[in-house]
Amino acid sequence: MRLNLKVWRQTGPTAAGKLESYVADHVSPDMSFLEMLDVVNEGLVKSGKDAIAFDSDCREGICGMCSLVVNGVPHGPDRGTTVCQLHMRKFRDGETITIEPWRAKAFPVVKDLVVDRSAFDRIIAAGGYVSINCGGAPDGNAIPISKEVSDLAMDSAACIGCGACVAACKNASAHLFMSAKISHLALLPQGEVERSARVLAMINQADAEGFGSCSNEGECEAVCPKEIPISNIARMTREYVKALLGAGE
């Protein structure tokens, strides 16, 4: 395959960026999207040019590092898939592909396609944890939890913190991300102790970081590679109201 790429290039956080054109030649349909970019970068480096900066780590859909907006869609056209698991067979030979970074005030561009997502870390540090001293690992059946509840909690825990939900949202809201973390802990007895403090602290931190609010667009759910449902946002709102009223203690 031969593809025409339009890639966002930006030398640093305060520099003006722009889309630059490249040709990706001899691309195998079996390559992943990031492998295709690796090939383009090899060509750039061989010709003495600056490689395109982009984030990745596991390349297995687990770590949440990859973060490209492909043709206007965070993680690209394949539903429920991270961009590292997107394959070139999803594109047509000769197609033009536009590649941009996550765009949100709270995710400033570091370079090219790399953004700073440490705002998510600060939201987790504000409350996305359980601090009870539980000693050694308890026996698996010591705390009975129904299959229905454990499944719901595990589905929420599937969030990989990639930030695609923020990038897709016109409000740059972090609600889907936060609601996944809050649901995961609110559903389980281990999360009960800090239940009220957690939701208040995480939402306050998100506001301080500059994330927007939720207006129920559903874009976050549509692009989430782990298919986290927006019903979690409803649960987070209930948790928030209960905490504000002091009823969640």
Give 3-state DSSP helix, strand, coil % of the chain, rounded to 5.
Answer: 40, 15, 50
First to last CA, the chain: 59
Residue 172 touches ligand SF4, criterion: CB under 6 A: no
Q: Which two tokens stand for residue 214?
A: 């939720």
In the complex, least distance from residue 228 CB atom to ligand SF4, rounded to whole angstroms: 4
How far apart CA 10 and CA 54 sit, in angstroms, is 11
Instruction: Answer yes or no: are the C-beta atoms of 68 and 56 closer than 8 Å.
Output: no
Binding mask 127-166 for ligand SF4 (x = CB under 6 A): --------------------------------xxxxxxx-
The sheet with strand 3-9 has its strands ordered as 18-24, 3-9, 96-101, 68-70, 73-74
| 78: its two tokens | 């394949």
CB of 224 to ligand FES, least distance (A): 12
Query: Alpha-carbon distance 150 to 127, whole Å?
Result: 21
- What is the closest distance, in whole angstroms, from the C-beta atom of residue 145 to ligand SF4 in the complex? 22
For the chain, the maximum distance between any two Cα atoms, rounded to a whole number of angstroms, is: 64
Least distance in Å: CB of 48 to ligand SF4? 36
From 32, 82, 156, 173, residue interacting with ligand FES (rule: CB under 6 A): 82
Q: Which does 234 bind (CB under 5 to 8 A by kind): ligand SF4, ligand FES, none?
A: none
Cβ nearer to ligand FES, comparing 220 with 243 = 220
In the set 111, 175, 198, 226, which binds ligand SF4 (CB under 6 A)? 226
From candidates 83, 180, 214, 236, binder to ligand SF4 by CB under 6 A = 180
Structure tokens that stand for 112 in this block: 């090219």
177 contact, one of ligand FES, ligand SF4, none, CB 5-8 Å limit per kind: ligand SF4
For binding to ligand SF4 (CB under 6 A), which residues are involved?
159-165, 176-177, 180, 224-226, 228
